[in-house]
Amino acid sequence: MMRRWIMVPVVFALVIAGLFGILRLTNARTFQLFGDLLARVDTDHAVVALTFDDGPTTDYTQPVLEILKAQDVRATFFVTGRETAQNPAGAKAIADAGHEIGNHSWSHNRMIFVSSATVREEIENTDAAIRDAGYKGELHFRPPYGKKLVALPWYLAQNDRTTIMWDVEPEADLVTAADPQAMADYVITNATNGSIIIMHVMYESRGASRQALPALIDGLKARGFKFVTVSELLALQQGSSN
């Protein structure tokens, strides 16, 4: 009888540790259970990929495209299927400007405890919306909130899709994220060859991120970096056949 009671805290501790492990696994930027996951690329080339999540939105797609055009920089936009279906002209404008588009799920729900049928719908319907908007390039995937556990990586692996994460996230710290110059400085300091920079520029609340872009791009150019799309970055991965 005694022993069973002793086991209670042990089991409790194991459950907590297990849950903590699952939480860490869902957030891990460099590891997932199945398939290719990429937070940056190993390369000797002085290149970085600028990536934007969410949208396209009617209010902020065009202003962001204008900043990139003025800087002669191409980026990769991970858009949601729902927003693309609501605003196909926004997705078309991104594609027409020569940027890459990626799949960021349909609903932007956390894809942790989800069925494989849900995963398939989220991804395939979003691909279809992006294609309907006229985009013809490669379509990589970035999970909403960077979260994934079992069904999502399994599906992506089965379908030869690379999961694109990031290694430079200027918005992670709230104080930095409120200050455009601090965000630009953070990126300029922390980017290295092959870095993938994540930013959110599609909503009203992200004014500071949009304002950070010109200084951020200028600073990276001054350090000698060239801007490439995610697909171009993948092609430079050391040991790849390209």
Catalytic positions are 53, 200
* Alpha-carbon torsion angle 82, 153, 162, 106, nearest 10: 0
Closer to Zn ion by Cβ: residue 164 or 188: 164
Please state the closest distance from residue 145 (CB atom) to Zn ion, in A: 7
| CA–CA distance, 188 with 42 (Å, rounded to integer) | 18
Tokens 């949009």 found at: 210
Closer to Zn ion by Cβ: residue 32 or 51: 51
Parallel/antiparallel/unpaired status of strands 47-53 and 163-164 = unpaired
| CA–CA distance, 131 with 135 (Å, rounded to integer) | 5
* 93 contacts 65 by C-beta, under 8 angstroms: yes
Contacts with Zn ion: how many residues (CB under 5 A)? Answer: 2
DSSP state letter for 1: -
- Sequence letter at residue 85: A
Please state the closest distance from residue 194 (CB atom) to Zn ion, in A: 22
Q: Using CB positions, name the residue nearest to Zn ion.
A: 53
Near Zn ion in 11-70, by CB under 5 A = 53-54
Please state the closest distance from residue 32 (CB atom) to Zn ion, in A: 17
Please state the closest distance from residue 12 (CB atom) to Zn ion, in A: 35
Near Zn ion in 66-105, by CB under 5 A = none
* 56 contacts 79 by C-beta, under 8 angstroms: yes
Residues in contact with Zn ion, shown as a per-residue x/- string from 150 to 169 under the rule CB under 5 A: --------------------
Closer to Zn ion by Cβ: residue 43 or 153: 153
The overall longest dimension of the chain from CA atoms, in Å, is 75
Closer to Zn ion by Cβ: residue 54 or 83: 54
**Closest C-alpha to 145, from 177, 194, 107:** 107
Closer to Zn ion by Cβ: residue 78 or 186: 78
Please state the closest distance from residue 61 (CB atom) to Zn ion, in A: 15
* 186 contacts 176 by C-beta, under 8 angstroms: yes
Q: Is 39 helix (H, G, I), strand (E, B) or coil?
A: coil
171 makes contact with Zn ion (CB under 5 A): no
For Zn ion, the binding residues (CB under 5 A) are 53-54
